[in-house]
Structure 1
Amino acid sequence: MVDSPLTRARRGVGVGMLGVGVLGLAWMLTPGIPVLFAPRVSAEVRAAGLELFAHEWQPHDAMARGDGLGPVFNARSCVECHSQGGVGGGGDNSHNVLAFEAFPTQDRPDVKGGLIHKFAVANQFLDSRAELSKCFPIIPNGIRVEGGCQVFTQDFDPVHTQAVNSTALFGAGWVDRISAKTIRHESLKTASARMGREIVGHFGGVIPGRPRVLTDGRVGKFGWKAQFATLEEFVSAACANEIGLGNPGMEQARPMVRVNYPQVERDLTDAQFRSLVGFVDSLPRPVEVVPDDHAQRSRAERGKVLFAEIGCAACHTPDMAGVQGVYSDFLLHRLDDRSRGGSGGGGYSERPPVPLPEDYPLPEEWKTPLLWGVADSAPYFHDGGSPTLETAIQRHHGDAESVTAAYQKLAAEDRAAVIAFLKTLRAPADAEPVSPPTVARRHLVVTR
């Protein structure tokens, strides 16, 4: 029997569709395209970005098109909060910011978040906890929805505040190039491995985290709550919220006491903003510095092995998408054990009357911090509440409770070896040095 042209055409279409399906399945099972090239910007762009990053902004600053610093802000420059180990590093507790979330209610189903700013350019603009409470008042006899039923409960304060420490930005350009597919793939692989262990009766180990899926479907990578998908968005929000610099991506933060603060021209031009993002994108990546002394080197190498054996590497994944030494899975994990009263991870004791959106982080969930450069980025944890690496490890609860228990069972010399390994993860030696402030503060802005 001779095939007709129509039959051959149908067969060709069928084979083609099968091929596409096979390729699609193969793509789904792969971890995505690795990061092959280092971030690069021109010397001119980097120099312009460094100037903007280190500049101490003033009200009506000559470098700004709008009103310059403020009206509310937490710092006068980027480097003020990002200085440890060089320009772009982490910050100490004196530069923590106070973030807030207003959980959903019957009248306001969305989560609102922001900052209670430390400073303002004038007294009448100062933020405060009292002003925040006026914006999001306590709900008397709040109503909670459970399983479609309304349950009357006690008074409910929708506002949750949390001190947040500034993270190091070294290597941010490499992180920006890690694909969402890689993060999802690693998450699925970790969850599948745990399921396999549970099938054969092994129920211990680290509880897998979950990717932060933003409202537009992208995966978050930047911020303690993984609330930003790209480095550009992170820089844009930091300029607007921390310094009060309106930019092409976001308007400046407005005072709580005067939300009708007049709109002004955005402070940063497109070219300035691109230069600033380009500088942060090109910040050098941290390095692992192996000690020259044989005994110290052996101890650090022993600690690296133990780091993986006790389960630290289950969340602090050493390599991701070809980016070596990053030590993060970029997933959300619960670090709070509610039986401990919420001290482990900033947990919130009351359940909101309206459930949080499915993909929104719980108060006790935090993105796994990157450990590259960790030796030069104390204090630790999202709130800077752990002054040393030892106290930070001991503070891991919730999903990481088994790791903390395993660490505590190690002999003293082995615990010291783990710390010795972590101390080899240093800030990049070629980071720009931090210079003393060059702008005289003759006109001090208002402090609380």
Structure 2
Amino acid sequence: MKIISTISLIGIGLVFPPLLHADLVGEGPRLNPEDRITQDQISTGELSLKEIRKAGLLIFSTPFNRHDGYGDGAHDTSEPDNHSPEAGNRPTLQGNRIFLRVNGLDSQNCLECHTIVSNRTVPATLGIGGGGGFSTSAMFRPVNIDVIDESFDGHAEYDGRLINPLFLFGAGGIELVGREMTHELQGLKQYALDNPGTIVNLDTKSVNFGSIVADGSGNLDTSNVEGIDVDLIVRPFGRKGDNASVREFDVTALAFHLGMQAAEGFGGEYADADNDGVTNEISIGDLSALSIFITTLDRPFELDSKKHRQGRNLFTDIGCADCHRPTMVTERRTLPYKLTGSPEKPFEDTFYEVDLTKHPTYFQPIFNGGVEVPMFSDLKRHDMGEELAESAFFFDEQQKREFITARLWGVADTAPYLHDGRALTLVEAILLHDNPGSEASAAAQNFKNLSEEKQNKILNFLMSLRMPENPVGDLIEYR
């Protein structure tokens, strides 16, 4: 296999060396083509779950190079940069075509930003699928960033999003909960359409998303919908709750951070949307393997003792559990997988499924056939107040202030906290919930009004929510 390509910077006069023959030592794709699996191998059951997970681990952790399709193509000065990975036409630092840091092209693989399993230990405990520290925070879609403080006011003006990377453990249970919630909400939507004039409360898994009512012409009044988009699709992934599945999230993340475009989201296997001379950079099979790997990562766990249970009860009493729901319960035990698209039909057109009660996820089964997902979230967006609002120019004022409820499982190990990592301790995170307009102000004030003894009981409880030990240990071969 040989890949030969000359890449130039149009309008700048710089020319990259050609991509050399792949049979030269060190040249060629970093991801071995023999290690990639196909969609047919997955959907027909030819491969074991472990084999699929291994293939997904390689997509997750391989430091891609230009032969793999890493980065954007030659910058085209005739086409405007629209600050999105879809363009494949981003400026890069010194015109290197591989790195900008702000607005993507900021890493070579997923592992660079998902490495810290515990920041509670010193040194940090590292592992595949963890979160990230300050230095790996994504700077999403800014046009301006005043790093030299031209106004000399100590405030670096910034009009994008700053996103501290979350850990990925337990994602399979989260996705299953979200899909079941969507399925039920779509049923309520249909009920409203079938019964014009009837106010239908959008309740699913004890979470209320407002209400809808239909008129006799099939039009829905969604003005009372809250904490979710008006399409009534639960999107549990992303700080803003904007991705319905891990697969959907991966398509954008791979393109934004790495310039690795998934055929499924960028025109098919023969398309070259970023104009870098490489097609099918992430195949449908690659994307399936990656999403199955992430959704079968181990889950966080909770230490149990009398001391911790007392703190858990206080956590509920002061109102924290109103949004940080300790446990969600599913009706199914298996997570089905489907291609991107039609998220309003979460259980149709699936090609594979995994039993979440078995290795490697081991979610606790319940009597009615489902599983417990103790993530401490309601998967609903809430107004967190003006002091936590983002400055992103592409959001309206409400969107800037809203975030999906953070999942607290594993919180003992995952400092820094909040969407941009501004809280270095749990106490800071709790107190920052109390600011003008925040839906969480009352709970934060209740915490402040507790005695120090009771505050410590809650903090000890939160410190019992731990990250998994030795994640993906069964897949790693040390040498």
Question: Is the structural similarity TM-score above 0.5?
Answer: yes
User: Quick one: higher RCO (CA 8 Å, sep 6+), 1 or 2?
Assistant: 1
Task: Give, as a single letter, the amino acid of the residue that structure 2 aligns with 1:210.
Answer: E
Correspondence 1:363-402 to 2 at 5 A: 363-397=400-434, 398-402=438-442
Aligned residues: percent identity? 28
Cα distance, 1:78–1:365 mapped onto 2, change above 3 Å: same
Matched with 1:229 is: 244
Per-residue CA deviation, residues 110-164 of structure 1 (Å, 9 max, x unaligned), is xxxxx35xxxxxxxxxxx6379xxxxxxxxxxxxxxxxxxxxxxxxxxx942211
Per-residue CA deviation, residues 290-315 of structure 1 (Å, 9 max, x unaligned), is 3xxxxxx3332211110000000000
Residue 346, structure 1, aligned to residue 390, structure 2: yes
CA distance in 2, matches of 1:209, 1:428: 36
TM normalised by structure 1 equals 0.60
Residue 239, structure 1, aligned to residue 238, structure 2: no
Per-residue CA deviation, residues 197-240 of structure 1 (Å, 9 max, x unaligned), is xxxxxxxxxxx9933226x5522211111111112101111111
Contact 2:301 2:468 in 1 (8 A): yes
Matched with 1:320 is: 328
Matched with 2:443 is: 403
Unmatched 5+ residue regions in structure 2? Answer: 1-46, 75-87, 89-96, 118-126, 147-157, 186-201, 211-223, 268-272, 331-371
Cα distance, 1:45–1:435 mapped onto 2, change above 3 Å: closer
Bigger Rg over Cα: 1
CA distance in 2, matches of 1:380, 1:286: 17
Quote the RMSD (CA, aligned, Å).
Answer: 3.8
Correspondence 1:242-321 to 2 at 5 A: 242-251=257-266, 264-290=278-304, 297-321=305-329
Bigger helix share: 1
Contact 2:113 2:131 in 1 (8 A): yes
Quote how far apart the aligned CAs of 1:56 are.
1.4
Task: Give, as a single letter, the amino acid of the residue that structure 2 aligns with 1:163.
Answer: L
CA distance in 1, matches of 2:460, 2:168: 23
Matched with 2:65 is: 58
Matched with 2:160 is: 161
1:418 is paired with a residue whose SS is helix
TM normalised by structure 2 equals 0.57
Matched with 1:48 is: 55
Task: Give, as a single letter, the amino acid of the residue that structure 1 aligns with 2:227.
Answer: P
Quote how far apart the aligned CAs of 1:325 are.
1.2
Matched with 1:84 is: 116
Cα distance, 1:249–1:370 mapped onto 2, change above 3 Å: farther
Unmatched 5+ residue regions in structure 1? Answer: 1-39, 100-114, 117-127, 132-158, 193-207, 253-258, 291-296, 337-341, 439-448
CA distance in 2, matches of 1:393, 1:433: 34
CA distance in 1, matches of 2:316, 2:246: 29
2:469 is paired with a residue whose SS is coil
Matched with 2:171 is: 172
Quote how far apart the aligned CAs of 1:58 are.
2.1
Cα distance, 1:347–1:59 mapped onto 2, change above 3 Å: closer
Q: How many residues align?
A: 305
Quote how far apart the aligned CAs of 1:189 are.
5.2
CA distance in 2, matches of 1:53, 1:209: 37
Contact 2:209 2:227 in 1 (8 A): no
CA distance in 1, matches of 2:70, 2:388: 43
Quote how far apart the aligned CAs of 1:345 are.
3.4
Matched with 1:211 is: 227
Contact 1:233 1:249 in 2 (8 A): no
Cα distance, 1:59–1:321 mapped onto 2, change above 3 Å: same
Correspondence 1:86-101 to 2 at 5 A: 86-99=127-140
Contact 2:382 2:402 in 1 (8 A): yes
Cα distance, 1:189–1:73 mapped onto 2, change above 3 Å: closer
Matched with 2:203 is: 185
CA distance in 1, matches of 2:427, 2:474: 28
Quote how far apart the aligned CAs of 1:433 are.
6.1
Quote how far apart the aligned CAs of 1:165 are.
0.7
Matched with 1:112 is: none
Quote how far apart the aligned CAs of 1:54 are.
1.4
Per-residue CA deviation, residues 90-109 of structure 1 (Å, 9 max, x unaligned), is 1111111112xxxxxxxxxx
2:290 is paired with a residue whose SS is helix
CA distance in 2, matches of 1:415, 1:57: 47
